Amino acid sequence: MKTRDAGFSLIELMVSIAVLAILLGVAVPAFTSAQLSTQLRTSTNNLIAGAHLARSEAIKRNTIVQMCVSSDGTSCGTGDWGQGWIILSGTEVLHREDAISDRYHISAGADAFSFQPTGVDTTAGSFTICRASPVGPEERVVTIDAIGRAWGARTTSGVCP
């Protein structure tokens, strides 16, 4: 009596590969969207926490504290906030945030925000955190008001400055 060999036939293997390809076709875009959302949320939270830290340190130290763009992590610079930023009291770096992926931009109307020892008269402004290319419909905006409060909001304008 002849026994049948155990294993997959070619047709079963091809059907399995086709099902796997369909599942990957659905899962990969969803994963990319989740990754984008996570990076935007993380950058937003880091900027809000940085603004809170800078304001509290200004009050605690009774001196002006700056939150500014920094590509080297030791001094203030200019350009895209995505290259990194620092919180500076005089010449002392209180906090350093490293650069984010070049797939994202963090832009602001100013290269530095100053927090006063009184807790008020802060340099007001906002940050826009977005995907560099292709520009997506999901962005985050962090706003710092004149008394140093910072908060974030989700936008869908799809405009990356």
Mind listing the pLDDT tens digit for each residue in 123-155?
888 888 888 766 667 788 899 998 888 999 988
pTM exceeds 0.95, yes or no: no
Cβ-contact 56, 63 below 8 angstroms: no
* Total domains present in the chain: 1
Residues sharing a CB contact under 8 Å with residue 31, sequence separation 6 or more, in sequence order: none
- Has residue 161 been placed in a domain? no
- Has residue 108 been placed in a domain? yes
Determine the structural domain holding residue 66 and report its residue range: 10-155
What digits encode the pLDDT tens for the residues 20-59? Answer: 999 888 877 777 777 777 888 898 999 999 999 999 999 9
The closest of 115, 116, 107, 91 to 43, measured between CA atoms, is: 107
C-alpha–C-alpha distance, residues 119 and 115, integer Å: 7
Sign of CA dihedral 47, 53, 59, 64: negative
Cβ-contact 40, 141 below 8 angstroms: no
CATH code for position 31: 3.55.40.10
- Has residue 20 been placed in a domain? yes
